């Protein structure tokens, strides 16, 4: 059994900035909830659900999106959304045109105050909600993978708005993305437990955020060095 801890924190932000996130929005993706009894014996299906969690939407969201002739992006927050228009800029980040794969397809990020850490080499993969499909979904969720022993960073929901003539409608409690853990030994199970926030954990997260902001490239190798130098989280600080 491999230990993975998570805590609620946003680097360089105050707690009031992310009080909206509830840890109940992190749930395991269970094979029993998604597969019929006959198919449960299939090892290929089991591998999809092993060590997989879903991050659920903390809000009802109804947005529409437009781009002007200069490729500037404008998002309208409709009344069905459980936060006001002026809160959008506090919760979401509109990526500049040079970061878009297509100038006509807005790239939008929502940073989550959710950080995972392990003393073992465990890769975290962020995935679209593979088992959840909504008709007329206009976005494509970006995927990514990193080692949570080396890089103690917060989770970002990043999506590309592909169909601007279609509104984005998401209900509270629907999965926004999946998180899948890959231990060094792929047969190991991952035990995920919430950690009490400490100064040590905050410092680790602030350091990772600082490296990303300071260096334009190669910060992955820098964080690898940081991961090799840092002390063990669970044993040293008795979080477990």
What pLDDT sits at residue 213?
Answer: 63
pTM score of the predicted model: 0.89
Backbone angles phi, psi at 65, to 5 degrees: -140, 140
pLDDT digits (tens, 9 = 90+) for 69-103: 999 999 999 999 999 999 999 999 999 999 999 99
CA distance 149 to 22: 24
Strands 107-117 and 168-170: unpaired
Angle between helices 219-229 and 199-214 (to 10 degrees): 160
**pLDDT for 237 beyond 90:** no
What pLDDT does residue 215 have?
A: 60
Residue 80, pLDDT score? 96
Domain layout of the chain by residue ranges? 2-237
The residues pairing with 147 across neighbouring beta strands, listed in sequence order, are 123
Kindly report, residue by residue over 121-164, the tens digit of the pLDDT.
999 999 999 888 888 899 999 999 999 998 899 999 999 999 99
Is pLDDT of 33 > 60?
Answer: yes
């Amino acid at each position: 059994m491999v230990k993975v801890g998570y805590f609620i924190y946003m680097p360089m932000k105050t707690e009031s900035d992310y009080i909206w996130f509830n840890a109940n929005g992190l749930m395991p993706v269970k094979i029993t909830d998604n597969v019929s009894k006959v198919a449960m014996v299939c090892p290929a299906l089991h591998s999809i659900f092993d060590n997989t969690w879903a991050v659920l939407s903390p809000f009802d969201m109804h947005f529409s999106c437009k781009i002007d002739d200069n490729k500037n992006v404008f998002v309208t927050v409709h009344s069905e959304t459980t936060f006001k228009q002026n809160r959008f800029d506090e919760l979401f980040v509109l990526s500049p045109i040079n970061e878009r794969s297509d100038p006509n397809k807005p790239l939008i990020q929502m940073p989550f105050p959710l950080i995972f850490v392990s003393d073992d080499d465990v890769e975290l993969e962020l995935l679209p909600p593979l088992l959840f499909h909504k008709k007329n979904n206009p976005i494509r969720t970006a995927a990514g993978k990193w080692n949570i022993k080396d890089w103690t960073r917060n989770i970002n929901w990043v999506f590309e708005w592909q169909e601007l003539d279609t509104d984005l409608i998401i209900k509270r409690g629907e999965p926004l993305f999946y998180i899948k853990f890959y231990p060094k030994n792929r047969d190991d199970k991952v035990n995920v437990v919430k950690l009490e926030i400490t100064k040590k954990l905050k410092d680790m997260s602030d350091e990772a955020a600082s490296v990303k902001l300071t260096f334009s490239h190669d910060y992955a190798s820098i964080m690898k060095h940081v991961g090799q130098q840092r002390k063990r989280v669970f044993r040293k600080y008795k979080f477990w």
